[in-house]
Structure 1
Amino acid sequence: MSWQPEMDELRRRQEMTKQMGGADKVKRQHDAGRLTVRERIDRLVDAGSFREIGSVAGKAEYDGRNDLVHLMPANSVMGRARIDGRPVAVTGDDFTVRGGSADATIKEKAIYIERYANQYRVPLIRMIEGSGGGGSVKTIETTGRANVPGVSGWEWVVRNMGAVPTVGLGLGSVAGLGAARLAATHYSVMVKEISAMFVAGPPVVNRLGPRQFDKQDLGGWEIQLRAGAIDEAADSEDEAFALTRRFLSYLPSSVYDVPARGPRTDDPARREESLFQAIPRETRKVYRIRPIVEKIVDQGSLFEMGRLYGRSVMTAFARIDGWPVAVMASDPMFYGGGWTADTCQKVSRFLDMAETFHLPVVYFCDCPGFLIGLEAEKTGVIRQGVRAMSAMFQTTVPWCTFIIRNAFGVAGAAHQNGSRLNWRYAWPSGRWGSLPLEGGIEAAYRADLDAAPDRSAKMAEIEDRLNKLRSPFRSAETFWIEEIIDPRDTRQILCEFVELAAPLRTPGPSQHGMRP
C-alpha cells in the first residue's frame, strides 16, 4: 500500500495556502497596484529556484470528525532560492491575510528564515508589507490579554547585520515592527507612491493633534529617503527587485568570504582627458562629482546608496577592473563638501558595511571641514564627526584616497585610517591645512592689516605669500603628501591598487559588529 492518500492531502493543503487570503483579497491587492507575495518572489529570484519552507503552516478549521475544512495560511511566505545562481534566503509578508499583522503570524517562521540565513551563510531578502508586530487592537480581544512588548528572535536580526548581506523591500504600508525589520538591513528600498513607512500610521498619529496626515504625508519615500531611514526609492516593484540583485552582486554571500571579481569589461589604462580640468581653478566654484567618479570606475558600475541623505558625501559601490570597492566622494554642491551631522552618520554606517564585507575603500576627498555655525552645533556635529572618524580608524580593509581639492580641519583629517599604511595621492588642485586661509587671515594677521595704509593691498600680499607656502609641492617635498599625480592617471593607479589589495582582504567577522 502506498502513501498516496497522505500525498494527496498534502497537495490539497498546499493548494489552500496558495490561495492566500482569498480571491477578493488578491483582487484588492492588484487593484491597489501591488503584487502578491508569491508574485513578488517569482519575479525576484531565478526562475524555478524557490523552495518553500512551511508551505502548510497556518490556521486550520476542522469539522466534527476532525477532517480539515479550510486552511488559512500564515501571513508570511519564506524559503530558499537563488539569485543570479547564488543561494539566498527569502521571506515575504502576505498582506492578503489580515494585512500582514501579527494576528495571523506564526513567529517561528520569521525566526527560522533569519536563522537559516545566518547559519547557512546566505544573503537574506525581506519583502515587507504590514505591521509584523503586535497586530491590531483586536488582538486583545482574540487573545483575551494585552501583550507585554517583546520581539522574539530579534537577536538573529542583529547577528545577521554582522554576518550576511540583508536587503529590506518596503512594498506597501510598513509600520511598527515591520518598519524596524525594514530599517535593520544593509540596503533598504521603498516603491514610490505605493509604499509608506512609519513607527505608527495615520490612524494613530491623527488622534494626537489637529493636523491630519495621509500615508504619504507621514511616511512617504521622500521623507524616509531624506531622513536616511531607507537607502533608495524605486519607481516600481520590478525595479526594486532589480536593485536588490545589483546590490547583492557587489557583496560576498557572507562575511566568511570576500567579494568576487566581476567581468573585466573596461580598459585599466583608459585615460579620461576631461579629468585634467574637472576641478575649477577658482576655489569658490563648485563642480559635479558623480561624472568625475563615473569616468574613473568601470563604466556603468557605479551603484549609489542614500543619495538624498547626508548629501555632502556620496557613497556607492563600484568596480575597478572588475573588483568591487566601496566609494566615498565629497560633493561640493552641498555645503561645499563640509561634513554635517547626517553626513557623518552616513559615513560611519557606510564604512562599517565596507569593513563587514571586506570591500576596499576609495575616497575622493574635497572636505573643507565640519559645517560650522549655531545650527550645526545644535545637531551635535562634533560628536557625530568623532564617531565617523573612529569608524574610519577602526577599518582594516585596504584604503586609497585622492585629495582632489580640500582637506581642512578634523573632518579633513578623516580621509583615511591614519594608523595604517594606505595609498594616498593628491591632484594638483589639492589644498589642505588646519583651516582654509580664507577664514583665518583676518584673525591671524589683524594687527598687520589694521596697521597697513592699504588694507586690501596688504590682504592680497599676505594671501599671495601664504598660497605659495601651502602649495602641494611644498608638502610633497617633506613627504607630507606621498605623491601628486595627473588626474588622468587616477584610473590606472586604482587598477593597480585593487590588484594588490585583493589578496589582503581577510574573510571572517569584523571585530566591530555592524548595527543598523
Structure 2
Amino acid sequence: MKVRISAGASDEEASAIAAALAEHVGETVELYADDDDEPLAVHDATDDSSADPDRTPPSEPRPGPESESDSDAGLGPTDRERRLRAEIDDILEGGPEKYRDQLDESDKLFVRDRLALWFDGENSEFQFEDGKFAAFDDWHPDGAGEETDDRLPADGLITGGATFEGRDVHYMANDYTVKRGSMAKKGVEKFLRMQQRALKTGKPVFYLMDSSGGRIDQQTGFFANREGIGKYYYNHSMLSGRVPQVCVLYGPSIAGAAYTPVFADFTIMVEGMSAMAIASPRMVQMVTGEDIDLQELGGPEVHARESGSADLVAEDEEHARELVAQLITYLPDNADEKPPRRASIPPASSPAGIDAVVPQEPNRGYDMTEVIDRVVDDGSYFELRPDYGAEIITAYARIDGRPVGIVANQPAHRAGAIFPDAAEKAAEFIWKSDAFNIPLLYLCDTPGFMAGSQVEKEGILEQGKKMIYATSSATVPKQTVVVRKAYGAGIYAMGGPAYDPESVIGLPSGEIAIMGPEAAINAVYARKLAEIDDPEERERTEQELREAYREDIDIHRMASEVVIDEIVPPSALREELAARFAFYEDVEKSLPDKKHGTIL
C-alpha cells in the first residue's frame, strides 16, 4: 500500500505514520512525500519493530497501572502526599519525648511498640488503625508538630483491627505518653465505635489498658453523655457472652478506667507494672485518711489473691502476650461457634497412675492436678485464678484435642472444702464456659461447703447459691467424676446427678453422702457411744458404725441404686471421658422460657 503525505514531515514522523497505518490496515505501507519517487518510510505489518524503539509490540499486553510507561514518567507522590506522610509519622511518635523516656525507666513499651509485639508476628496478616487523626486540630493545626506537653496524637487512644495468632480481633490501646493514657472526647468515641463494630462482626476484643482514667480538665462532652464514657460499660455488658473480651493491664487503671478490666471476661495484670482501683491513693487519703501506695491498694497481689479480679499475673509484657495466645486457643470467636479443636496428644503422665494418686482415706490430702495431668492432653492445662479460692481449680484443657472447662476440688487446700471465694470463682468460670460453648468436666472430691461464723459473714450461702445456679443453668455437655468424697451440697454444686449432667462417673474410691462418716456417727450416735463406759468397746462400736456407714455410701451402692451411671477403672478414665464428650458433643438442652434468672 502506497500513501502520499505533504512535504515537510521529518523522518521520525514519517516512520511513526507508516507504522501506525501498517498496524491499522494489516499490510505493508510505503510512505511518499508529494511527487517524490523514493519513499520516506516503509513499514511491514508483520514486522514488530519500528522506527520507534520504545513502542510496545501489538502482540504484547499494554503497560498496566504498576508499569512505568511514557504516560507515568515523572509521576509519584506529590507534596500533598508527602505532607500527609509527615503528619502520620509525627502522630506515630506519640506524646512528648520526656514521657517516652519515663516508659524506659519503668521497663514498659511505648504503645506502638507494644502493638508491634502483639500483631507483627508470623501469624499476623494485617493491622489497621481507625481514628489516627483524632483531635489532630487541637494540637497540630499548622502541621508543625511542635514538642509541647499539649501533644494529643490519636487523642491518646488507639483502636483498630488485626490478626493475632491467626485470629481476627478488634483492639484498643492507651498511649501513656499522652496525658497518662487518660480518656477524652475523641478517644472515647473511637473506643465506643470499636465496641459497636465488635457487636456486628462477632470477633473478640482485646483491651490493652494503660490509663489514668477520664481527662478531668476536658470532661465536658464525654463523661455523662449518652455516647460518653459511661457507654463503655453498657457496651461491655452487651458484648458479654457474645464475644470474648480480654484485657491486659500495663499500668494504673483508676476510677472509670478500672471498670474495663473487671467487665472483661479475662483480665491479666503485669507484675510490677499493673494496678487498678476505684480511686487513686491520693483520693483514698483525702476521703478516708488511709495512707497507702498504689500497689498495696490495687496491685497484682491484691487482685490475684484477695479480690479475684485478676485471672492471671504475667511476669512481663512478652509473658502477657504468651498467656493470651494460649488462652484464645480454648475460645471461639463468638457465642455462635464452637471452640477450636486440635490434634490429640497423650497426657503428660500415664492414666495408669490415677488410682495410686487418690488415697482411699477421705481425710488424706493430695494434689488434684496429678489426676488432671493423667487425663488431659499434655501441655494443654491452663489454670485461671490459681491463687484465689485455691480449694477449687478452674482451668481450661483439652481431652483428645477437644477443649473442656475443668472445675475440680483441690484436697491439697483446705481439704477441698468449698469457701465463699472458691464458690464465686467456680460460678463465674462455669458461666463463661457455658457462654462460649466449652463443655464442662467436674472432678468432685469435697466435704462440701465450709461451715462457721466467718464464712457466713463472707456469704457462703450467697456464693454457694450462685455456683449451684451456674451449674444448673449451663447447657453445654457436662461430665461429672466422683473422684473420692462427694459430701453434702458439694455434690450439687459439682454437677451431681440432679443437675442434668450427661454422665456421672465414679472411681472405686468414690463416696456420696450427706456428710462424712466421722461427722455422721457423731451426729447420730453420740449419745449411744457416750453411754458405753468401756473405752475399748466404745472404740470397737464406733469402728463398726463407721464401716457400716461407709458401706452404705460406697460408690458401688450408688451404682447399684443407679444414682451414678458407671464405675470405671481409673486407668480408663481419660478414654471414657473422651468417648463421652465426643458422643454428647451436639447434645441439645433448653432452659425454661423466661427473660432471665435472678441469681447472677
TM-score, normalised with respect to structure 2: 0.79
Instruction: Tell me by how many angstroms 1:116 deviates.
Output: 1.8
Cross-structure match for 1:230: 310
Q: 2:463 aligns with which of 384, 396, 400?
A: 384
Cross-structure match for 1:18: 92
Cross-structure match for 2:554: 471
**Cα distance change of structure 1 residues 62 and 409 upon mapping to structure 2, 3 Å threshold:** closer
Equivalent pair of 1:189/1:231 in contact (CA under 8 Å): yes
Alpha-carbon separation, structure 1, partners of 2:347 and 2:458: 44
Task: Give the structure, 1 or 2, with the largest relative contact order (CA under 8 Å, sep 6 or more).
Answer: 1
Instruction: Tell me by how many angstroms 1:252 deviates.
Output: 0.6
RMSD: 2.8
Structure 2 regions of 5+ residues with no counterpart? 1-74, 146-150
Cross-structure match for 2:271: 192
Q: Deviations over 1:302-347 (max 9, x none)?
A: 0000101121110011011111111111101222111111111111
Equivalent pair of 2:481/2:505 in contact (CA under 8 Å): yes
Equivalent pair of 1:123/1:164 in contact (CA under 8 Å): yes
Cross-structure match for 1:77: 158
Q: Does 1:41 align with 2:120?
A: no
Instruction: Tell me by how many angstroms 1:183 deviates.
Output: 1.1
- AA at the equivalent of 1:49: F
Cross-structure match for 2:132: 55
Give secondary structure in 2 for the equivalent of 1:370. Answer: coil
Q: 2:172 aligns with which of 91, 105, 109?
A: 91
Alpha-carbon separation, structure 1, partners of 2:466 and 2:599: 14
Give secondary structure in 1 for the equivalent of 2:303. Answer: helix
Q: Does 1:414 align with 2:493?
A: yes
Cross-structure match for 2:320: 240
Of 222-231 and 4-13, deviating more is 4-13
Q: 2:341 aligns with which of 261, 272, 278?
A: 261
Of 199-208 and 143-152, deviating more is 143-152
Cross-structure match for 1:498: 581
Q: Does 1:9 align with 2:83?
A: yes
Alignment of structure 1 residues 429-468 onto 2, 5 Å: 429-454=509-534, 455-468=538-551
**Cα distance change of structure 1 residues 153 and 233 upon mapping to structure 2, 3 Å threshold:** closer
Alpha-carbon separation, structure 1, partners of 2:222 and 2:559: 72
Equivalent pair of 2:233/2:259 in contact (CA under 8 Å): no
Alpha-carbon separation, structure 1, partners of 2:369 and 2:596: 30
- AA at the equivalent of 1:192: E
Equivalent pair of 1:162/1:515 in contact (CA under 8 Å): no
Give secondary structure in 2 for the equivalent of 1:183. Answer: helix
TM-score, normalised with respect to structure 1: 0.92
Q: Deviations over 1:479-510 (max 9, x none)?
A: 11221111111110111122223333799xx9
Alignment of structure 1 residues 265-304 onto 2, 5 Å: 265-266=345-346, 271-304=350-383
Q: Deviations over 1:400-459 (max 9, x none)?
A: 111101111122222227353511111111111111121121221133213323332321
Equivalent pair of 1:356/1:513 in contact (CA under 8 Å): no
Equivalent pair of 1:286/1:332 in contact (CA under 8 Å): yes
Alignment of structure 1 residues 340-351 onto 2, 5 Å: 340-351=419-430
Of 48-57 and 388-397, deviating more is 48-57
**Cα distance change of structure 1 residues 511 and 147 upon mapping to structure 2, 3 Å threshold:** closer
Instruction: Tell me by how many angstroms 1:6 deviates.
Output: 4.2
Structure 1 regions of 5+ residues with no counterpart? none
Give secondary structure in 1 for the equivalent of 2:386. Answer: coil
Equivalent pair of 1:425/1:481 in contact (CA under 8 Å): yes
- AA at the equivalent of 1:372: A
Of 467-476 and 66-75, deviating more is 66-75
Alpha-carbon separation, structure 2, partners of 1:132 and 1:119: 27
Give secondary structure in 2 for the equivalent of 1:445. Answer: helix
Equivalent pair of 2:495/2:501 in contact (CA under 8 Å): no
**Cα distance change of structure 1 residues 339 and 171 upon mapping to structure 2, 3 Å threshold:** same
Instruction: Tell me by how many angstroms 1:264 deviates.
Output: 2.4
Identity among equivalent pairs (%): 26
Q: Deviations over 1:323-380 (max 9, x none)?
A: 1111111101222111111111111111111110001101111121110011111112
Instruction: Tell me by how many angstroms 1:209 deviates.
Output: 4.7
Cross-structure match for 2:570: 487
Of 445-454 and 199-208, deviating more is 445-454
**Cα distance change of structure 1 residues 36 and 67 upon mapping to structure 2, 3 Å threshold:** closer
Equivalent pair of 1:89/1:125 in contact (CA under 8 Å): yes
- AA at the equivalent of 2:586: P
Aligned length: 507
Give secondary structure in 1 for the equivalent of 2:250. Answer: strand
